[in-house]
A and B are shown apart, each in its own frame.
Chain A
Amino acid sequence: MTHQIPKRFLTGVAALAASLTFANGTPAMADKASNTLNVAFAAEPEPLDTYTIAGRQGLILARHIYDGLLYKNLDTGEIVPALAESWEFTGPLTMEFTLRKGVKFHNGADFTADDVVETLNTVITPEYGTRYSISVDWIDSVEKLDDHKVRINMSKPFAGAVEMLADALPIYPHEFFAENGSEGMAATPIGTGPYKLVSQDPGIRYEMERFEDHYEGSPKSGATIDKIIVRTMPEMNTQYAELMSGDLDWIWRIPPDQAKQLESRVQVISAPIMRIGYVGFAPESLGGDSPIADKRVRQALIHATNRGAITDAFAGGASKVLNTACNPAQFGCEQDVTSYEYDPEKARALLAEAGYADGFEMEMAFAAMPRPTAEAIAADLAKVGVTLVLNEQQYSSGIGKWRAKELPAFFSNWGSYGIGDTAFILSNFFGGGDDDLVQDSDLAEWLSEADTASDRDVRAENYSLAVKKIADEAYWMPMYNFNVNYGLSNDLNFTPHPDEFARWWQSSWK
């Protein structure tokens, strides 16, 4: 074996060599023996106060430590009780929850109505700095009715309320939270979840142990793995090496080409997620005086882009071309809309009809999308005479220019906070707010009705009207739904979910 090493060493090519050269490495061995799941993230998790963070890594850890009042079973789409035993709408703007008894926090405190009241009434105040206002701005106040009963008074009708209560709004122990606030929760996260945090080197290393007193009847019950160790390892090639050598059992966000390399050695799973790629067109930009203001031009641009080939080449796995401006996994994401097949001839005809037979030049900024994908779009558009000037931006800079109406086209992605409801995407881009560069009053009206109605049929009908018009008017060029490639030790059972929340409490060894 040894005599082969120099040859392999010399033939390695840059970073890819790291994954290619593993072909004859040592066999992967999971840490099944110590019943410890070893996990790596490339990005540093944020502090574990769920309300003040946005990164998925921190939120994943937090969902193991904390529970919400409700829980969504993504396999059935059903909202099930968690810390609340039952709940009901007692009025158009009031919800009442009967809380579960006998639930313990990790510090031994009993879970009561005071915890719900203290937590939610604190995080809805502007001073608290809850990161996504959309998650709590629908709550006006929370009242204690008795030790195990609470009422939530809503500030406005909000169809996503139940979705939000399903694990996105965790309940903290009231005494500890009142005394220590967000900083205290981040330093010493205490919840009622299936795992308790036993040590953390913030951003670097976290160790969680199964919580033996986790309440019976929890939708997160049944955890079989004793210990979970999460480390930050920024370099993916290093993660591959550790996965191969058995020092890691779970990694994710593996690029498609690398996933193929790993397939022969470890388990690789590709799963679709809620995030989608899109090119937004802004008829309102540049004073409304740009080719993009013409519907035929927008339609031509979609016809000219070979989205199928781009999806296959750059996304691969479980990704599919989209026609609607939302994720098919979301409630209300109607699929029966006008679709634009790849047809450069038709694109040329539409451009000629719009007075751009000789083409034109247009800027497209892109953020949080790979450059090759943007270049592929530019190459396709060049074939019909449209010169796309690519402008790569940080997301903050790109979206800032978009909101300032300086961009006719913006290529980026949107994850809907991982929530399976069209409300969390359409209203942001077409509901009349700052991100809406279309300002179509019909859309704003339909979406407002859909976002606030409690009748699911009314909601579905309005979202359907909206996505059909967005497609007809070619306001967006939906690209594809993202997928995530997971690399797992061969001994691990793990089921991915489209909301990108890893549920390690459901994992087990084979």
Chain B
Amino acid sequence: MLGYISKRLLVAFCVCATVSAISFALMFLSGDPAIAIAGAGGRAQDADAVRIAYGFDRPIVIQYLDWVGSALTGDLGRSIYFNVPVTEIIGNRVGVTLKLGVLSFLLALVVAVPLGIAAALRPNGWIDRLALILAVTGQAIPSFWLGLMAIVVFGVWYGWVPISGAETWQGYILPVIVLSYYAMPAMMRITRSGMIDVLATDYIRAAKAKGLPMGTVIFRHALRNAVLPLVSLAAVQLGLLLSGSIVIESVFALNGLGRLAWESLLRSDLPVVQAIILILSLLYVALTTFADILNAVLDPRLRGAA
């Protein structure tokens, strides 16, 4: 097990290093950051001054190594746009994204797993059909449209919940529901198919033949194996929710990490973009590594496979 974990951590480190290097280089392909920072009204000499002030005139490799060196000491630089340490600005925004992402993930999980199990127990039954409708609409309807409709109906017409902002907990109600509706189908479908496969296996038939109660068969024997692919998927889904909530954060005016990444990209605030990319890639790698390790704990066969 220790060998397996060591291998996974080594791979994770390599992935982070590669992602950070590639993303750093890509940022410079989208145009001259000095001109972008100088602004649309900036003259060539304004851009030149910015180029020197921020060290963009140095070779890109030197800039990258400099950045990596500082990042390793915990210094992620200063935001060019806000003129404050990047860690400070990310610290201010990450809470919103974490709340939004984790709550949406939990809500999606709470709905998807029981629904997937229920659908698997009676394939083609009414619960299965209902689950199918939810899954198809969740995947087909763009989340920004659903968000806007939720605002119109529950925010404007009925006035039940705030339309925007995260000043109160009520502000999270609509975005969490919308985001979880988007995340739920994949988890529900994978639970359902995993459960159907497991329920058809010999050891489940044997368990049923022994006269074990259905609840025991499902939750003690079937679920442990059915849940394996869900663990991997859930890790990716949580990563997606945390990094990919830009649209929902925009629609509901929640100023989280997703919005910050997008806005920083548009205004070429390189230190912020680079820090967010690093943090999100670390997060992804951590989540997928954790999922792999958890799967190995749940299924000892996987340790040998690695």
- Identify the A interface with B (CB < 8 A): 5, 9, 12, 14-15, 17-18, 21-22, 25-26, 43-44, 46-47, 49, 52, 54-55, 126, 129, 131-134, 182-183, 186, 201-204, 231-235, 237-238, 241-242, 244-245, 247, 368, 393-400, 403, 413-417, 428, 433-435
Contact status B255-A18, CB under 8 Å: no
Task: State the Cβ distance, B100 to closest chain A Cβ, in Å.
Answer: 15
A-B contact sample (18 more), CB < 8 A, given A17-B149, A395-B31 = A22-B152, A46-B82, A47-B84, A133-B43, A133-B45, A235-B251, A238-B164, A241-B148, A245-B156, A396-B30, A396-B35, A397-B32, A398-B31, A403-B44, A414-B40, A415-B40, A416-B41, A433-B45
Residues of A within 8 Å of B40, CB to CB, are 54, 368, 395, 413-415
Task: State the Cβ distance, B91 to closest chain A Cβ, in Å.
Answer: 12
Contact status B253-A235, CB under 8 Å: yes
Residues of B within 8 Å of A245, CB to CB, are 155-156, 159, 163
Residues 128-172 of B, flagged 1 when their CB comes within 8 A of A and 0 if not, give 000000000000001011001101110111010001110000000
Contact status B155-A183, CB under 8 Å: no
Residues of A within 8 Å of B149, CB to CB, are 9, 12, 17-18
Provided the pairs A133-B43, A231-B165 are in contact, do residues A397 and B30 lie with their beta carbons within 8 angstroms?
Answer: yes
For the complex of A and B, the 9 pairs showing the least CB-CB separation, nearest first, are A397-B31, A54-B39, A434-B44, A396-B36, A396-B35, A396-B31, A233-B253, A18-B148, A234-B250
Contact status A132-B31, CB under 8 Å: no
Contact status A394-B30, CB under 8 Å: yes
Contact status B148-A237, CB under 8 Å: yes
Residues of A within 8 Å of B53, CB to CB, are 129
B81 at the interface (CB under 8 A from A): yes
- Which among B30, B36, B81, B251 is the interface contact of A237 at CB below 8 angstroms? B251
Contact status B152-A238, CB under 8 Å: no
How far does the alpha carbon of A431 sit from the alpha carbon of B53 in the complex, in Å? 26
How far does the alpha carbon of A235 sit from the alpha carbon of B46 in the complex, in Å? 31
Residues of A within 8 Å of B43, CB to CB, are 132-134, 428, 433-435
In this complex, what residue of A is CB-closest to B96? Answer: A204
Task: Determine which residue in B36, B49, B84, B156 has the highest number of CB atoms from chain A within 10 A of its CB, and name it.
Answer: B156
Residues of B within 8 Å of A18, CB to CB, are 148-149, 151-152
Contact status A241-B38, CB under 8 Å: no
Residues of A within 8 Å of B144, CB to CB, are 15, 235
- Identify the B interface with A (CB < 8 A): 30-36, 38-46, 49, 53, 81-84, 89, 92, 142, 144-145, 148-149, 151-153, 155-157, 159, 163-165, 249-253, 255, 259, 263, 268
Task: State the Cβ distance, A489 to closest chain B Cβ, in Å.
Answer: 15
How far does the alpha carbon of A252 sit from the alpha carbon of B3 in the complex, in Å? 59
Contact status A238-B38, CB under 8 Å: no
How far does the alpha carbon of A2 sit from the alpha carbon of B133 in the complex, in Å? 24
Task: State the Cβ distance, B73 to closest chain A Cβ, in Å.
Answer: 21
Contact status B41-A400, CB under 8 Å: no
Contact status B163-A132, CB under 8 Å: no
How far does the alpha carbon of A202 sit from the alpha carbon of B45 in the complex, in Å? 29
Provided the pairs A15-B148, A233-B164, A396-B36 are in contact, do residues A9 and B153 lie with their beta carbons within 8 angstroms?
Answer: yes
Contact status A133-B31, CB under 8 Å: no
In this complex, what residue of A is CB-closest to B247? Answer: A235
Task: Determine which residue in B53, B81, B155 has the highest number of CB atoms from chain A within 10 A of its CB, and name it.
Answer: B81
Provided the pairs A52-B83, A393-B31, A397-B30 are in contact, do residues A132 and B42 lie with their beta carbons within 8 angstroms?
Answer: yes
Residues of B within 8 Å of A52, CB to CB, are 83
Residues of A within 8 Å of B251, CB to CB, are 235, 237-238
Residues of A within 8 Å of B142, CB to CB, are 14
Residues of B within 8 Å of A55, CB to CB, are 39
Question: 17 A-B Cβ contacts within 8 A?
Answer: A17-B148, A21-B152, A46-B82, A47-B82, A47-B83, A131-B46, A132-B41, A134-B43, A182-B83, A186-B84, A247-B163, A396-B30, A397-B32, A400-B35, A413-B40, A415-B40, A435-B43
Contact status A395-B36, CB under 8 Å: yes
Residues of B within 8 Å of A428, CB to CB, are 43
How far does the alpha carbon of A131 sit from the alpha carbon of B81 in the complex, in Å? 11
How far does the alpha carbon of A237 sit from the alpha carbon of B159 in the complex, in Å? 16
Task: State the Cβ distance, A393 to closest chain B Cβ, in Å.
Answer: 7
Residues of A within 8 Å of B148, CB to CB, are 15, 17-18, 235, 237-238, 241
Contact status A396-B32, CB under 8 Å: yes
